[in-house]
Amino acid sequence: MPIPQPVYNPPFNVTRASHAVMTVKDLARSRAFYVDLLGFIVSDEDKDTLYLRGVAEACHHSLVLKRTSGEPQAERVGMRVFTEEDLEKARAHFEKAGLPVKWVEVPHQGRTLHVSDPLGSPIEFCATMEVKPRLVVEFEHHKGAIPQRIDHFQLLVPDVQKACEFWMSLGFRLSEYISPDGKDDLLFVFLQRKGNPHDIVFASAPGPRLHHAAFSIPESYQLLYVCDLAATMGLAANVEYGPGRHGPGHALFVYLRDPDGHRIELFNTHYQCIDIENEPVRWDLSFAAKRRWMLPARRQWYTEASRFAGVAPRDPAHLGDPLTLEKFVTEGMR
């Protein structure tokens, strides 16, 4: 199937990935992980909720953790639209498309719209948030990996082509994608609104599920430091994959699992993709592998992800067969 065409005059103006909302079993353990180890700033907290932001963020939160007595899950991922008018346009657009849409009140956010995309992924849009001090040069507040700001989400979905078409129809641009050698199937699509390669990424697997939320860190130094600090804090096993270098997106990365199994990516940088002549970059599966100097990710990195509350995952037509660490070790190939 062909790559969808970009839409330069979208129905409403989404500006960027904004925040993720997840449930956790023990806020104190989550705080140790996110605040003491990763270095997030606490914007607000009470006995049921922890609102976190990166040091370079002036918005109230980019990560919301809610206490649950049930299974930890992802509740929703949030996007920003530019104006309140864009919110109204979004409502109209989703309604017209016959997709779920609902106005809700969310603490510390402006008027908020809950929607689901055609894959069933629960999304919320808002135009504004409460403003907090940007602590990017308040160095006495910098700890751990010094997370700067949220950058993107990755969702696992059973139909990447469909996700790609829908989000591109909203004005998202395809920066890069991975396909099997010699085929057109989309295995990974990297979609963006804010002018760097990713705001939302879709990968083929049972879903919709939240694979990870990604936050930028200042320098490669912090990628190694956060692993070292994790080991000192007894959290070595929470380092799941990396540090390593991505093909698509081009960043150095490390993935960690939080105490409830939610996955966080820390990465160091991104290039800019704003210009209209920037065509989507295709990566053949085999080329991405050729450039890989780190060990492949464990199988769990491909298969485990946070379920969205109330959304039953569905299987893709074809299950992928990625080069996992397990396969690499067993088959002795590289």
- What is the contact surface with a copy of itself in residues (CB under 8 A)? 8, 15-16, 56-59, 80, 82-83, 127-129, 131, 134, 136-140, 148-149, 194-195, 218-221, 223-225, 227-234, 236-237, 239, 243, 245, 247, 250, 252, 269, 271-279, 290-295, 298, 325-326, 329-330, 334
Question: Minimum Å distance from CB 265 to a copy of itself?
Answer: 16
Return the beta strands (E) in 6-131 as ranges.
14-24, 41-45, 49-53, 63-67, 74-81, 101-104, 112-116, 122-126
Using alpha carbons only, what angle is made at residue 333 by residues 317 and 331, rounded to the nearest 5 degrees?
A: 70
Question: Minimum Å distance from CB 100 to a copy of itself?
Answer: 26
Name which of 23 and 112 has its Cβ closer to a copy of itself. 112
Instruction: Give, in order, the Cα–Cα distances in Å from 150 to each of 238, 287, 290, 307.
Output: 20, 28, 29, 20
Q: Is 39 in contact with 149 (CB distance < 8 Å)?
A: no
Name which of 74 and 226 has its Cβ closer to a copy of itself. 226
Q: Is 78 in contact with 63 (CB distance < 8 Å)?
A: no
List the structure tokens of 270: 């991104």
End-to-end CA, the chain: 30
Question: Minimum Å distance from CB 46 to a copy of itself?
Answer: 23
CA 44, CA 151: separation in Å to the nearest integer? Answer: 21
Residue 222, exposed/middle/buried by CB under 10 A (0-12, 13-18, 19+)?
Answer: buried
CA 154, CA 189: separation in Å to the nearest integer? Answer: 10
Question: Minimum Å distance from CB 197 to a copy of itself?
Answer: 10
Question: Minimum Å distance from CB 144 to a copy of itself?
Answer: 10
Name which of 71 and 138 has its Cβ closer to a copy of itself. 138
Q: Is 310 in contact with 205 (CB distance < 8 Å)?
A: no
**Cβ count near 191 (within 10 Å):** 25
Question: Minimum Å distance from CB 146 to a copy of itself?
Answer: 10
Question: Minimum Å distance from CB 63 to a copy of itself?
Answer: 16
Question: Minimum Å distance from CB 173 to a copy of itself?
Answer: 11
Question: Minimum Å distance from CB 85 to a copy of itself?
Answer: 9
Name which of 252 and 305 has its Cβ closer to a copy of itself. 252
Instruction: Give, in order, the Cα–Cα distances in Å from 53 to each of 59, 151, 254, 260.
Output: 7, 12, 19, 19
Residue 137, exposed/middle/buried by CB under 10 A (0-12, 13-18, 19+)?
Answer: exposed
CA 248, CA 231: separation in Å to the nearest integer? Answer: 29
Name which of 82 and 89 has its Cβ closer to a copy of itself. 82
DSSP label of 109: B
Name which of 6 and 320 has its Cβ closer to a copy of itself. 6
Sequence length of the chain is: 334
Name which of 119 and 226 has its Cβ closer to a copy of itself. 226
Name which of 82 and 309 has its Cβ closer to a copy of itself. 82
Name which of 110 and 313 has its Cβ closer to a copy of itself. 110
- Residue that has been written with the tokens 């860190």 in this structure: 217
